[in-house]
Structure formats: C-alpha cells, structure tokens
Amino acid sequence: MSNNSLLAGKVAVVTGASRGIGEAIAIRYAMEGARVIVSARTLDDGDHVLEGSINSVVKRIQDMGGEAHALRCDLAIEAHRENLIRETEAVFGPVDILVNNAAVTYFVPVEQFKKKHYDLMLEVQVYAPFHLVQLCLPGMIERKSGWILNISSHAAIHPAKDTAGRGGTVYGMCKAALERFTTGLAAEVYEHGIGVNVISPGLVATPGVVYHNLITDNTPKEMITPVEHMAEACLRLVHGDANDITGKITYAVDVLKDYKLEPADLGS
C-alpha cells in the first residue's frame, strides 16, 4: 500500500470489479487508502465463464494490506442496486467515490438485435449508473463533496460511414448516453463540490475483451493499453479540487500525459 494515501478514509464503490479494469481500479484505490466495495455478479471463482470474482479481488487487496469488502450485485435488478448502496453504508459508511464500470455487451448487427438484449444493455450501462448516482447524491450534496467516475469507450465516438462495424452500434449508443449524462450531471452538481467525469481506457486486454475477440494476434501492440494505465488515470480523476477536475470526457492516455503520471505496479 502507498504511503501517499491520496484516498485515506474515503469509501469507494466500484462496479464490475471482479476482473479487468474494475479489479485494477479497486486495487489502485485501496493502495491509496480507500475502503473499497468490490461489486459484480461473480461472487466466487468458477461462477462465471471468465476468470475472476469479487471474493478473489477482495482477498488480493487484503493480502496487500488494504481494506475491501465484496458485495454481489446484479445491476439489472433495482433491489440489488439499492442494496449495494445500503450495505456499503452499513459496512464502511457513506459513499465518497462511485465508479460505474460494469457493462453487459452483445456485439450483434442492428437488424438482428434482440429486444431483451437491447433492454438489458440500456438497463446495466445507462440506467444503473443513473440510479446509483441518485442513491449516492443526497449524501454527497449534504457533505459538499464526492466523486463520480463513469467508464466509457472509444465506441462512443461517431464512426466513419465507410467503417466496417462489428455489431457495436448499441454498445456505442450506450456509452454515448453515459458521456452526455456525465457532463450534464457535472453541471448540475458543480455548486455542491462534486466531481463527475467519464473516461475511456483504449484497448485493454481484459478477459471480456479477449472473450469477444476484440484483440487478435494481428492487433498492433502499441494499440493495447496496459490496465495499470487505466487504473492510474482513474485514480487521478477522484481526488483534488472537484471544481477543477469535473465534466471531463477524457481518455487514459491523455490523463497520464496531462498530469505527468507514472502508473503504479498493481502487484501480481
């Protein structure tokens, strides 16, 4: 754990934290003294086709000397979202930092897209972050402090008309909505000292990215962003003066460059 303690005493909730980017963010925050709620659907190793679980991430943090607690949450279920914030407050106290990282994605062309998949993607990637923010905002406004960080994707950028797609239209639409929500919310809560930002990672070799074949043997290495870079950028966007660091639509590479950051080693 770091001696800098940039997040000492802060309570952070990270969704989709059983593996990949969410796991890296949870570990990096814990390294800076945050008490981290590690949340996702996968409770134990072997519960999901992809490797990783919230219990294993919590153990990893605790073995490093950090403080973390696992809370299983299916973000498609309203009661689960409400329980996530309620249990966080019971275990660690009011939420200081909310990271909306979780996603469920289907890469299917529009003409073949099923309504149930469309509804699920919007529920998890758009409405769930909105609802979690609603649950956290009253306390943040009362304390005149807090940070909300939404995780987006380059898929939110409008594609060229002659670009061959891979069925990512609905995914891009969800991320574009999340970005507009971020800037609107940042303006709404600016006077309350709450920072709201959205960041895209670039192409990170997470288990999900590999599973969807978004990285292949032909992908140039320079296009792949190490997960440590994303974690470091996400740390920078949840501390400091919220009136200066808010309303950003940014990217991991730009945050590292702008703030001259060297990514920390997250351990093995």
pLDDT digits (tens, 9 = 90+) for 100-141: 999 999 999 999 999 999 999 999 999 999 999 999 999 999
Residue 142 parent element (H or E): helix 128-143
In a domain, 157, yes or no: yes
- Residue 165 clears pLDDT 70, i.e. is over it: no
Q: Which residue has the higher pLDDT, 201 or 205?
A: 201
Is the pTM above the cut of 0.85?
yes
Q: Which of 175, 200, 248, 251 is catalytic?
A: 175
- Is 127 annotated as catalytic? no
Are the C-beta atoms of 152 and 102 separated by less than 8 Å?
no
Helix ranges (DSSP H) in 114-222: 115-122, 128-143, 169-189, 207-211
- Is 175 annotated as catalytic? yes
In a domain, 1, yes or no: no
In a domain, 50, yes or no: yes
Residue 38 belongs to domain with CATH number: 3.40.50.720
Residue 121, φ and ψ in degrees, nearest 5 = -65, -45
CA dist 254 and 252 (Å) reads 5
pLDDT-derived band of residue 267, with 50, 70 and 90 as boundaries?
confident
CA dist 68 and 66 (Å) reads 7
- Is 171 annotated as catalytic? yes
Q: Give me the pLDDT at residue 236, please.
A: 98
What are the tokens at 261?
């950051």
Are the C-beta atoms of 149 and 123 separated by less than 8 Å?
no
By percentage, how much of the chain surpasses pLDDT 70?
A: 88
pLDDT-derived band of residue 163, with 50, 70 and 90 as boundaries?
confident
Report the domain count for the chain.
1
Q: Give me the pLDDT at residue 161, please.
A: 83
pLDDT-derived band of residue 69, with 50, 70 and 90 as boundaries?
very high
Q: Which of 29, 127, 171, 251 is catalytic?
A: 171
In a domain, 264, yes or no: no
| Residues 6 or more apart in contact with residue 111 via CB below 8 angstroms | none
In a domain, 76, yes or no: yes
CA dist 162 and 79 (Å) reads 43
In a domain, 23, yes or no: yes
User: Domain limits at 120?
Assistant: 11-258
Task: Name beta bridge partners: 197.
Answer: 149
Each residue's pLDDT tens digit, 206-253 = 555 554 455 555 555 655 689 999 999 999 999 999 999 999 999 999
In a domain, 5, yes or no: no
Task: Name beta bridge partners: 98.
Answer: 13, 148
Each residue's pLDDT tens digit, 12-55 = 999 999 999 999 999 999 999 999 999 999 999 876 678 899 99
CA dist 65 and 68 (Å) reads 10
In a domain, 263, yes or no: no
103, HSE (Cβ side, Cα atoms, 13 Å): 22
Q: Give me the pLDDT at residue 42, please.
A: 95
DSSP 8-class letter at 124: I
